[in-house]
A and B are shown apart, each in its own frame.
Chain A
Amino acid sequence: SQKIEQNSEALNIQEGKTATLTCNYTNYSPAYLQWYRQDPGRGPVFLLLIRENEKEKRKERLKVTFDTTLKQSLFHITASQPADSATYLCAEISASKIIFGSGTRLSIRP
């Protein structure tokens, strides 16, 4: 069955460094991947969408890559700040549903 996975449950880095989160998918090839941010007790907030024919997408300090050979998407936050601390979710989007990975809890320490 198709699966989307975020292998790192938690990531803790120093403020100012680049945070890199990984999302892997198996047994299928999604046409789109999305990344969301979720704060405790809140619904997810959309950050970026990348299509399978796009290698890279940027938005301010955020960058997402999509490697169909490795079956992987990487999500980068440059010049990280404590306010970036949250859970980040990748999601596979199809015409009929949106399926989320397990999420990575990112903590940026001052």
Chain B
Amino acid sequence: GAVVSQHPSWVICKSGTSVKIECRSLDFQATTMFWYRQFPKQSLMLMATSNEGSKATYEQGVEKDKFLINHASLTLSTLTVTSAHPEDSSFYICSGRQGSGTEAFFGQGTRLTVV
């Protein structure tokens, strides 16, 4: 299957700082990127969907000014958690899809811990 590379795999940051997570599709063009958040023993919760070159569409309850998503090219999307707080600590996962109605390929996930 296709490969999505997500970095970093884990990060610890101080409260109030910003953290950027990168997601790259290595062998396909991801026309759509999805960003998910997963708390322990819970399922993946969709945060936002972005199409290359367009603004991201955020799910209800997700602050777009706090979670900045950029999808400037068909192979790279970034999620920046701004002014992070301890409650933002979670497992963040990106996913890329080429076209619609097809399988999505997931990154390895990023474990964010805000102290």
Contact = CB atoms under 8 A, between A and B. Distances in A.
A, B: real partners? yes
Interface string A3-18: 0000000000000000
B34 interface: yes
Residue of B43, B93, B101 contacting most chain A CB atoms (<10 Å): B43
Interface residues of A, number: 23
A93 B101 CA distance: 6
Interface residues of B, number: 26
Interface string B103-115: 1111111010000
A45 interface: yes
A96 interface: yes
Contact of B104 (A42, A46, A101, A103): A46
Interface of B: 1, 4, 6, 34, 36, 42-44, 46, 49, 57, 91, 93, 95, 97, 100-109, 111
